[in-house]
Structure 1
Amino acid sequence: MDIYAIAPIAAILDAAYGALTGLADLLAPFTGASAAAAAIILITVIIRSLLIPVGVSQARAEQTRARLAPKLREIQRRHKKNPERLQRETMQLYKDENTSPFAGCLPVLLQAPVIGILYTLFLRTEISGHPNDLLTHDLFGASLGTSLVSMLTVGPFSMPTLVVYGALIVVMIAVAEVSRRVFRPVPVDDSPLSSPGMLRMMSALHYLTAVFAVFVPLAAGLYLTVTVAWTLVQRVILRRRFPLPVSVG
């Protein structure tokens, strides 16, 4: 069964297709063959702009978690031998502070449908029964519908695709490294989340976007690159607006 043939999903895809191709047509006089890529960048900027209030909420949540770190350490010290009491006291602390340990996850959740739609738009040869013209678009000669893994394993080999993907991955890795160094997690004594192994895993998560990008069509990889770059700049600005307590870290 083709889930994309289900009426509501097909309608969403067709609307997204129409919006993207329409925007690409508007940009074509200025961007030429890269009109669809420019449209993706513009859509990404628009989406990230709309999510700025969510980013502010995320920065406030991070500031709150840092402020609560000493209290969390004390809870860990008192109840480390009683996991149930530890969990209950921890959740009560977050409740009293009107926050959550999962606060700030909303931007990731909100962007998942966008990435899914872009992935589908540049994967299917037909959208709602008509040919998918988006697959004819490229960025500096690299097809927006081709993934790096697909090009390397299935072919055909394309040097422009390799170069463009290489540039995007370099940007994502650079952003990940800066993010890893600047935004280190606040350690909590005796917490499993502060163990060396867990901290290494959390550091590695910064590079997960670059790994994920090689498996998706270039269009989605472009969206991810602009997103991580925007996120880094936004976090730097908001960290200045909502600094962490000096005594933390």
Structure 2
Amino acid sequence: MDIYSFPPIAAILDAAYTGLMQLAALLEPLTGGAAAAASVLLVTLLVRAVLVPAGVSQAKAEQTRSRLAPKLRALQKRHGRDRERLQRETMKLYSDERTSPFAGCLPLLAQAPVIAVVYALFAYPTIAGHANGLLAEQLIGVPLGTSLVGAIASGTATAATFAVFGCLIAVIVIAAEITRRAFRPPAAVDADASPLAGPGMLRTMGALQFSTAVVALFVPLAAALYLATTVVWTLVQRMILRRRYPLATP
């Protein structure tokens, strides 16, 4: 069953769609034929702005984890052979610090439904039983419902198709590379350091940064525009928050 066909969710999605199309109509005098694409960009920015508090919570949680990491390693060395004692001491440490191992997870889960609804606006051909008119609009002659892989497979890809998708994918790849370099987890300082800092995990996490670029090859242009805007916003937001909430130096 398609979750977006569930009546309450379909109603929310349809209301969001109506607002999106009204926004496109308002932008048309300023942006002309690119009004629909401009509305995608603007809605994405507005949604990311609303979700800033969730990003702040995650940044604070990441800072707390980095501060507690040496204490957790010390507990592992001291009680590593007594798993029950280690668990008690670990939970006591979190309690004394007034935090938990899951700090930052709740804001991440809370924003998931919002992101799912917004993404569906830009990717689903049908909304609440009617056609998604947004995907019939164009950007530089390329329909917002066109995917790069689909256009190539059907033989309908044009120079404009390659140019538009090429620019968006380049933006995503550049943002991913900057993210990979700027937010690489610190190297392990001893044998008991977190496995997240191991060489294999570092390579895997680095590769995952580029998965969005692969996804952008297959989704409609509207969704690809959303993805490119999101990764750039996320990069800038993380850089600002990292300065505001720096990690503890190993």
TM-score (norm 1): 0.85
Quick check: 1:148–1:215 contact (8 Å CA) kept in 2? yes
Gaps of 5+ in 2: none
Following superposition of structure 1 onto structure 2, how do residues 98-247 of structure 1 map, counting pairs within 5 Å? 98-105=98-105, 109-187=109-187, 189=190, 190=192, 191-245=194-248, 247=249
Quick check: 1:176–1:207 contact (8 Å CA) kept in 2? yes
Alpha-carbon distance change, 73 to 5 in structure 1, aligned in 2, over 3 angstroms = closer
Per-residue deviation at 1:77? 2.7
Per-residue deviation at 1:86? 5.0
Following superposition of structure 1 onto structure 2, how do residues 15-54 of structure 1 map, counting pairs within 5 Å? 15-54=15-54
3-state SS of the aligned residue for 1:30? Answer: helix
Name the % identity: 61
Tell me how far apart the structure 1 counterparts of residues 140 and 154 of structure 2 sit (CA, whole Å): 21
Tell me how far apart the structure 2 counterparts of residues 196 and 85 of structure 1 sit (CA, whole Å): 30
Per-residue deviation at 1:227? 1.3
Please list the CA deviations of residues 174-198 of structure 1 after superposition, one character each: whole Å capped at 9, or x if unmatched: 1111111111224554233232111
* Equivalent residue letter for 2:218: F
Gaps of 5+ in 1: none
Alpha-carbon distance change, 92 to 226 in structure 1, aligned in 2, over 3 angstroms = farther
Tell me how far apart the structure 1 counterparts of residues 242 and 119 of structure 2 sit (CA, whole Å): 32
Per-residue deviation at 1:30? 0.6
Per-residue deviation at 1:10? 2.5
Residue in 1 aligned with 2:64? 64
Aligned length: 247
Following superposition of structure 1 onto structure 2, how do residues 54-93 of structure 1 map, counting pairs within 5 Å? 54-81=54-81, 86=86, 89-93=89-93
TM-score (norm 2): 0.85
Per-residue deviation at 1:90? 4.1
Alpha-carbon distance change, 206 to 84 in structure 1, aligned in 2, over 3 angstroms = farther
Computed over aligned residues only, the root mean square deviation of the Cα atoms, in angstroms, reads: 2.6
Alpha-carbon distance change, 195 to 49 in structure 1, aligned in 2, over 3 angstroms = same
* Equivalent residue letter for 2:136: T
Please list the CA deviations of residues 53-110 of structure 1 after superposition, one character each: whole Å capped at 9, or x if unmatched: 2222222111111111211222333344566665565455334423344433456545
